[in-house]
Amino acid sequence: MNTRMVGESDMDVTADWYWEGNVVEAIARFLTQDGWAIVGRADTHSKERGVDIQATRHGRTLLLEAKGYPSKNYRDPRRAAEVKPTNPTNQAQQWYSHALLKVMRLQTKHPEAVVALGLPDFPRYRALFEETRGGLARLGVALLTVRADGTVTTWGAQWSR
C-alpha cells in the first residue's frame, strides 16, 4: 500500500469530490507525481467513452477505469431537487461490477498493461473490494482510491515499480 497527499486546493470545488471527473483528476495528478506520463484521459464532463486514464512509465502502460460514487440526488440541474429512487449503496455495487467488466476487457485486449480501478474511498466500495480482492490479485488488477482530502492510495502487487 502506498499513500500520498494530493493538494486539496487542486480539487474541483464545483462538484462533489466523489464525482467521477474529480476522481480521475486526483488520480491523474497522483500518477504524474509518481512519474507516470498521462497520454490519454477521457472527458468525463462530456461522458466520453473509453479508457479513463492511459499513462506510461519506464516502458509500461497503465490503463485505468474510474467510477464515482452515486449521489442521492440527480445531477441534471432540472431534477437536482429530486431524490433518486435507487439507494446509492445498491447503485454503487452496479457501478463496481461494470468497472470490473471493463478492467477484465482491458486486460484481455492489453495483456502487457497494468490495469487498474480508480474509485472514491467509500465504505461500500472498500467492502466490495475486500470481497473481490483475491480474484483481482490473481488477475493483476490494481486499485487506486481517492479520499475527500485528495489522498490517493494504491493497492495491488502490479503497482510496484
Strand order in the sheet with 114-120: 2-4, 152-155, 141-146, 114-120, 60-66, 53-57, 37-41
139-148 residue pLDDT tens: 889 999 999 9
32-76 residue pLDDT tens: 999 999 999 886 665 656 799 999 999 999 999 999 998 877 666
Per the DSSP assignment, residues forming a β-bridge with 116 are: 64, 142
Number of folded domains that form the chain:
1
129 located within any domain: yes
Residue 132 confidence (pLDDT): 94
103-120 residue pLDDT tens: 999 999 999 999 999 999
Average pLDDT over residues 19-41: 94
23 located within any domain: no
- The CA distance from 159 to 62, in Å, is 10
13 located within any domain: no
Residue 57 confidence (pLDDT): 95
For 19, residues 6+ apart whose C-beta sits below 8 A from its C-beta are 12, 44, 68, 71
**DSSP summary character for residue 151:** -
- The strand pair at 114-120 and 2-4 is best described as unpaired
Against a cut of 0.85, is the pTM above it? no
Residue corresponding to grid cell 468497472: 99
pLDDT band at 86 (very low <50, low <70, confident <90, very high): confident
CATH of the domain at 62: 3.40.1350
Residue 9 confidence (pLDDT): 39
128 located within any domain: yes
Q: Which domain, by its residues, includes 103?
A: 29-159
Amino acid at 38: I
pLDDT at 1 over 60: no
